[in-house]
């Protein structure tokens, strides 16, 4: 059984969540966030990979995010994740990005929104011999109805 990267990419985008560290900025003052994301392989994808003989995954991903009411107006969550076994349930791949500093705008709140595309460099291990296969993916979040909520929660208040 051979799995094409297009099929894998289509299934990978179903579970990407992100978060930020809490901060208490004031107008015009810098504040730092520690962005993180977790990529979830749903049960169906994990089962498909296991049926094809794969038993572990490792690699990295990078996803941009937009920032409102602060400068700069964008950041990125980028990092690697260690070898993770493919079990019988969903597989979660956490990444913590480098801390990033922004300058707060006017009173109100700073909002963060996940970008619509991301890149991944995955290696999947096949069988007990431990042969690793590299999959490089450029993915776009699937358009859904209703639209996916790409906003990080909660917003950071500016007081």
pLDDT of residue 54: 93
pLDDT of residue 68: 93
- For the chain, what is the mean pLDDT? 80
Each residue of 70-117: pLDDT tens digit? 999 999 989 999 999 998 898 888 888 888 888 999 999 888 888 888
- Go through 105-138 and write b for each residue having 16 or more CB atoms within 10 A of its CB, e for each that does not: beeebbbbbbbbebebebebbeeeeeeeeebebe
Say which residue, 143 or 134, is predicted with more confidence: 134
Cα 8 from Cα 49, distance rounded (Å):
9
Domain ranges of the chain: 5-144
| Cβ count near 145 (within 10 Å) | 5
Q: Report pTM.
A: 0.75
pLDDT of 139 above 90 = no
Q: What value does the mean pLDDT take over residues 52-81?
A: 92
**Is residue 142 within 8 Å of residue 14, measured between CB atoms?**
yes
pLDDT of 8 above 60 = no
pLDDT of residue 117: 85
pLDDT of residue 156: 74
Task: Name 134's Cβ contacts closer than 8 Å, sequence gap at least 6.
Answer: 121, 122, 123
Q: What value does the mean pLDDT take over residues 44-65?
A: 91
């Amino acid at each position: 059984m051979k799995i094409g990267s297009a099929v894998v990419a289509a299934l990978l985008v179903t579970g990407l969540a992100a978060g930020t560290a809490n901060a208490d900025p004031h107008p015009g003052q810098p504040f730092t966030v520690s962005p993180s994301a977790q990529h979830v392989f749903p049960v169906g994808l994990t089962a498909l990979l296991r049926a094809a003989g794969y038993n572990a995954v490792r690699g990295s991903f990078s996803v941009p995010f937009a920032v409102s009411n602060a400068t700069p107006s964008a950041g990125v969550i980028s990092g690697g994740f260690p070898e993770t076994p493919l079990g019988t349930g969903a597989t979660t791949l956490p990444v913590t990005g480098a801390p990033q500093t922004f300058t707060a705008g006017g009173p109100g709140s700073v909002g963060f929104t996940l970008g619509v595309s991301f890149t991944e460099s995955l290696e999947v291990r096949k069988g007990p011999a431990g042969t690793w296969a590299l999959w490089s993916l450029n993915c776009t979040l699937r358009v859904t109805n209703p639209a996916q909520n790409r906003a990080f929660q909660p917003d950071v208040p500016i007081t």
